[in-house]
Amino acid sequence: MNRVTGSYSPGGAIPLPSTPSAEQKKNQSVTTQTSLKSTQSTETPRTVLADTTVTETKPTASVKKTSWITKIPGINWLRQRLSHGSDKLFVLAQKALPHHTFSRLFGLFANCRIPFLKNLFINSFIWIHNINMEETKRHSASEFDCFNDFFTRNLKEGVRPITEEGQIASPVDGTIGQIGPIQGEQLIQAKDHTYTLTELLGGDEEAAKQFENGQFTTMYLSPSDYHHFHMPVNGKLLWTTHIPGKLFSVNPKTVRSKPKLFAHNERLVAMFDTDHGPMAMIMVGAINVSSIETTWGGLENPHGKHNGRYDLVHKDYQADNHRFSKGDNAGDFKLGSTVICLFGKECNGWLKSLQAGTKVKMGQPISPPSNQ
């Protein structure tokens, strides 16, 4: 299993040279004139310090290549308009086209391997969404086989440090949609919109009871985010259930306007036994999300038919002994989607600094230590 780990290693500050006095300036002037008359001189400590500083902050080739674009007047405004415009396009598409058909067509396009087309698509996407490619193992469009290969890109080791034991780690890079206690069986989707545990878990009342009055958080992965989901705690996989449904967009605008969205969309429920009690991770499909892939089951094929119709597909993994450590890679989405984490009463709650709209990175702590 691919685990992204590491630790923070902030660099020490470089001391600045003190300001010379008038007497020192005079001596320095004499020294400089003397040095000019010599045929060859070695670098002074002050020169070495300056050269070292330049070397440490020298931009990479990729930054140099695109830096001139950022100097064009209005370019950041254009990037923002294009980014927001793509969200609006998805909303219009989900109203006008059959969700599954549109997602299949997008999946075919995203798997295009014609170099010119896929490179153009990838580079445009990187620019519009301002993606930091310095964090990834591969940096240029030409290194990816297709758009889906780019979209499920892996990060360099150490760029997402994993929080200490006893705390729950964020499973994804994303934005918190909602976070807090579960009121009986009720979860909050958005203002004036709720849904139930039983609805979310596909009618499984027995599973729902484990999370009554527990804790939950919803995290939205925008198209610009890193799209793997990781284990927030140590745990053993018990079972999964794929629940068929719609493929509405899960962007914040749709979440605020579509009642019971997460209970209507296709989703994969994964149940774990963890150090923090029972935990369920629900990976919610969305328009343009052509598939969800897990490290234990491979491609989940959320648009496939089983026995001629769309059925709930339950898989038991208890005998397979799939054990995961916090931070282990659990799978990926092919485009922006949402992860919902459920914990039981044993959960110690969430950090008070977290609320709807807070951006998080995979591995950062989202709960207080378990001993508090």
Over its length of 372 residues, how does the chain's per-residue pLDDT go in tens digits?
Answer: 444 444 333 333 333 344 444 455 444 444 444 443 443 434 333 333 333 333 333 333 333 344 445 556 655 655 555 555 455 555 555 555 555 555 666 667 778 899 999 999 999 989 888 899 999 999 899 999 998 889 889 999 999 999 988 999 999 999 999 999 999 999 999 888 999 999 999 999 999 999 999 999 999 998 889 999 999 999 999 999 999 888 777 888 888 888 899 999 889 999 999 999 999 999 998 765 547 889 999 987 655 555 556 678 899 999 999 999 999 999 998 766 899 999 999 999 999 999 999 999 999 999 999 766
| Residues 250, 326 within the same domain | yes
Any domain includes 288: yes
Q: Which amino acid is at 347?
A: C
Judged on CB neighbours under 10 Å (0-12, 13-18, 19+), 278 is buried
Q: What domain range is 97 assigned to?
A: 61-151
Tokens 């087309």 sit on residue: 117
Q: Which amino acid is at 39?
A: T
According to DSSP H, which parts of the chain are helical?
22-37, 45-57, 61-67, 75-96, 99-110, 115-128, 147-151, 197-200, 205-209, 252-257, 261-264
| Residues 185, 333 within the same domain | yes
Any domain includes 40: no
| Residues 339, 265 within the same domain | yes
Helices (H) and strands (E) in the chain, counts: 11, 15
Report how far residue 57's alpha carbon sits from residue 50's, in angstroms, rounded to the nearest whole number.
11
Per-residue pLDDT, 256: 87
| Residues 141, 232 within the same domain | no
Nearest to 269 by CA among 238, 298, 290: 238
N residues, the chain = 372
| Domain stop point among 151, 184, 205 | 151
| Residues 237, 348 within the same domain | yes
Report how far residue 286's alpha carbon sits from residue 337's, in angstroms, rounded to the nearest whole number.
6
Query: Is 0.75 topped by the overall pTM?
Result: no
| Residues 70, 211 within the same domain | no
Any domain includes 310: yes
Any domain includes 287: yes
Tokens coding 197: 């545990």
Neighbouring residues of 142: CB distance < 8 A, sequence distance ≥ 6? 115, 119
Residue 102 phi/psi, 5-degree rounding, is -60, -40
Any domain includes 25: no
| Residues 192, 105 within the same domain | no
| Domain stop point among 136, 151, 166 | 151
Per-residue pLDDT, 58: 38
Per-residue pLDDT, 192: 82
| Residues 215, 298 within the same domain | yes
| Residues 257, 354 within the same domain | yes
Report how far residue 295's alpha carbon sits from residue 306's, in angstroms, rounded to the nearest whole number.
22
**Residue numbers annotated as active site:** 173, 230, 337
Residue 115 phi/psi, 5-degree rounding, is -50, -50
Any domain includes 2: no
Distance in angstroms between the alpha carbons of the first and the last residue of the chain: 31
Report how far residue 309's alpha carbon sits from residue 305's, in angstroms, rounded to the nearest whole number.
5
Q: Tally the C-alpha atoms within 13 A of residue 346's C-alpha that lie toward its C-beta.
A: 12
Neighbouring residues of 96: CB distance < 8 A, sequence distance ≥ 6? none
Nearest to 286 by CA among 224, 333, 241: 333
Q: How many domains does the chain have?
A: 2
Tokens coding 353: 């600094």
Per-residue pLDDT, 258: 86
| Residues 138, 181 within the same domain | no
Per-residue pLDDT, 210: 97
Per-residue pLDDT, 54: 33
| Residues 147, 195 within the same domain | no
| Residues 142, 180 within the same domain | no
